Structure 1
Amino acid sequence: MKKVFAIGAAAAAALLVLTACNSSNTNETTSTSTTMSVESSTSANASAHNQADVTFAEQMIPHHSQAVEMSDMLLAKDGIDPRVTTLAEQIKAAQGPEIEQLQTWLTTWGQSSTPSSGMDMPTTSHSMEGMTPSTSLGMPMPSTSMGMMPGMEGMMSAEDMTALQNAQGTDAAKLFLTQMIDHHRGAVAMAQTEVDSGQYPEAIAMAQTIISTQTQEITTMEGILSSL
């Protein structure tokens, strides 16, 4: 009887060891599988973009940057209609964070997040000269002109920016509104291209926001302009 009990106890102990090993192996396999799944998902998310997304980000960064500069020019002036200054502040508040997000996406996609001096440039008066760092956004900003890639619509020329810089009072407000209406229309067109051709969900969502917000701002600016 003692031998029977001893054999039974040994068998039970062996079974417990085997069960523990199997459980450990299963947990390790599950953990490894989960880690691989997360890594695969992260990689997929980073690569789930196409050239339209890259172009959208590369073009919208300088486009937004110029809108921020135009707003800064206006806000530095005296005697501007409060409705126009409020609009300029609104544009800065919306487009500054969008610039930073666009730069982050380009970095995630393995692209340069700053304008390249070697980019193909159309035959215009636009220039990349005069780029200075912005202390408020921590990004390259133009002083009086902005480099432009083909397909960027609504950008102001160096002469346009100089005219806005020199204008004062009601004339400055009118010029700002006239220029920004064209600028916004260009941004809406670029955003619509992203909605139609892009792949990255977050970039498409931003493009839809730009279309909605800037279309509404165009209507507001046209109303203000007609009353000045």
Structure 2
Amino acid sequence: MSSNTRAVHGVFLVASVAAGTLVLAACGGNTAVQDMAAGSRAAPVATTATARPSAEFNDADVRFAQMMIAHHQQAIQMAELASTRASSTEVKNLAEKIKASQQPEIETMQGWLKAWGKPMPTGQMGHEMPGGMSDADMQKLEKAQGGAFDKRFLKMMIVHHKGAITMARAERKRGENPQAKQLAEKIITDQQAEVEQMRKMLERLR
């Protein structure tokens, strides 16, 4: 074998060994490379698993959701009485509007508390907050009929709405969760408009 032939053969031998090394690494020979690749793939999964289920929140947000759920539930109880006791069509329509707007808000806030891992409100919370009606108040409303019901309902609901507005303003000031603060703004706007409407309705009934 000539010197030129031996040189060419040596080049091919080196190239073959190098290629074989690369094949082994690709098939599992280079565990360090594989471990790094696996680690880079696993990182996003771990991040996703530990991500917060909802936006940031504080104690004021939790308190707002718990109390407003109970507050809305009581308003719906009052509104449901209007279908069989009210004499004014305007009062009945307002009661239906209150139920239609506040029930979805209750469900939204219940979803927040579940996501935050916080307890749902107790039934007594509605009596402890601004504008909350006592059991005696509710009993008087249940016993009223016709025009007497209309007047009592409007007077009570005005007080109830004012309480909700007070709570919503506190959330706007102290809360942290953007969705809760946005709902607080909506409650302020909607219920203030309804307070003005009820005042006018009450004036017409006197």
Q: State the TM bucket, normalised to the shorter chain.
A: 0.7 to 0.9
* Superimposed CA distance per residue, residues 43-86 of structure 1 (whole angstroms, 9 cap, x where no aligned partner): 6x46x221111211221121111101000111223x63222212
| 4+ residue segments displaced more than 6 Å | 19-23
Q: 8 Å contact 1:71–1:88 — kept in the other structure?
A: yes
- Pair 1:198–1:18, CA change in 2 (3 A): same
Taking only the aligned residue pairs, the percentage that are identical comes to: 36
More moved, 102-111 vs 55-64: 102-111
More moved, 63-72 vs 18-27: 18-27
Q: Match for residue 4 of structure 2?
A: none
Which structure: larger Rg? Answer: 2
Over the aligned positions, Cα root-mean-square deviation in angstroms equals 2.6
More moved, 163-172 vs 68-77: 163-172
Structure 1 residues without counterparts, runs of 5 or longer? 117-127, 129-145
Determine if the alignment matches structure 1 residue 86 to structure 2 residue 63. Answer: no
Determine if the alignment matches structure 1 residue 52 to structure 2 residue 31. Answer: no
Aligned with 1:33 (options 30, 40, 43): 43
Determine if the alignment matches structure 1 residue 188 to structure 2 residue 165. Answer: yes
Aligned residues: 195
Q: Match for residue 108 of structure 1?
A: 115
2:70 alignment partner AA: P
Structure 2 residues without counterparts, runs of 5 or longer? 1-7
Determine if the alignment matches structure 1 residue 148 to structure 2 residue 148. Answer: no
Aligned with 2:149 (options 158, 172, 178): 172
Q: Displacement of 1:25 after TM fit? A: 4.8
Q: Displacement of 1:40 after TM fit? A: 3.6
- Pair 1:6–1:62, CA change in 2 (3 A): same
Greater fraction of residues in helix: 2
TM-score, normalised by the number of residues in structure 1 = 0.74
Determine if the alignment matches structure 1 residue 4 to structure 2 residue 11. Answer: yes
Q: CA–CA distance in 1 between the matches of 2:197 and 2:70?
A: 24
